[in-house]
Amino acid sequence: MIFINEMFLLNKKKETFDFELKKTKKTFFSKIKNFFFKKSKLNKNYLEEIEEILLSADIGTKTTIKIINNFEKRIQKEQYRNVQELYKFLQEEIELLINFNNTCLENKIKLKKKPYVIMMIGVNGVGKTTTIGKLAFYFKKQGLKVIIGASDTFREAAINQLEIWANKVNVPLIKQHMYADPASVAYDTLLSAKSKNMDVVLIDTAGRLQNRVNLMEELAKISRVMKKVIDQSPHEIILILDASTGQNAFEQVKKFTDFVKVTSIILTKLEGTAKGGVVIGIMDQFKIPIQYIGVGEKKHDLKKFNGKEFINSFFRI
């Protein structure tokens, strides 16, 4: 009976992942399946055709070239009986690019002396504020006490929206007025977190200042001030990316990692895009773990990312 229940839950998880990634599956990976399974043999230009399909999914040029080169070497080295086996080869080569052994954020939080301080960064429009609310709810479900700091004081809408989310998921919010010093808000939040024995602190930050230098200086200042309250904070810097932007997401990772040590990524809007291949390129090129994916607007629409299941979902026949 236990075995049957476990199998039911596993199949339910697969169905859920398949549904959440259906747009990418219908476009990119349906092309891959049709390419392999509607042919009895491949023509001499098949590698170029596969490369074109990979590029169309926003996997990225560097990662696509790596996949094709490794795929070609494997074909030359190993015997295969049919095109279906080549399909399996391709899946395995893509899987090799993804590190499945990343430490999950919940385990990091348990191992560190509390409170565990997380700085949330990302450009405006990627769903950062909404993600903070959903992440606070996710942690609460894990039995953790969470507090949020509204350090994006350059947009009144950001403070108001964060307050709505804090009320919705029933977690405390520390805020000041618009244009207040963001570092001051972070400082107050950490003091409150220590006094209330909180487990997790989520600090929102501005997504855009006048220029990149200003943004870099603001994030650095917030980090310096927080260290006065809690040494080594922030313990985690999470970059929020909108999966639907495709190659723009790559550019955002490049820009942020130039001046801050990004430790994790959350991808939003994955359920509404045909560009899910961007996940593969980001994990390969930047070696930064994707911890969660956003798959909707409701408070429970934040899912733990499972790299192996992600790839399996795409290649599942």
Domains with residue ranges and CATH for the chain: 2-95 (1.20.120.140), 105-315 (3.40.50.300)
CB 280 within 8 A of CB 58: no
Give the E-state strand segments of 159-287 in sequence order.
173-174, 200-204, 236-242, 264-268
Write the pLDDT tens digit of every residue in 182-210.
Answer: 999 999 999 999 999 999 999 999 987 65
3-state secondary structure of 261: coil
Write the pLDDT tens digit of every residue in 15-60.
Answer: 455 556 666 666 666 777 778 877 667 777 889 988 988 888 888 8
Partners of 314 in beta bridges: none
The confidence score (pLDDT) of residue 10 equals 40
Between the alpha carbon of residue 13 and those of residues 60, 240, 316, the distances in Å are 28, 24, 13
Classify strands 302-304 and 290-294 as parallel, antiparallel or unpaired: antiparallel
Residue ranges of the chain with per-residue pLDDT less than 50: 1-15
Q: 0.85 exceeded by the pTM? A: yes
Around Cβ 204, how many Cβ atoms within 10 Å? 30
3-state secondary structure of 204: strand
Residues 6+ apart with CB under 8 A from 89: 71, 74, 75, 78, 80
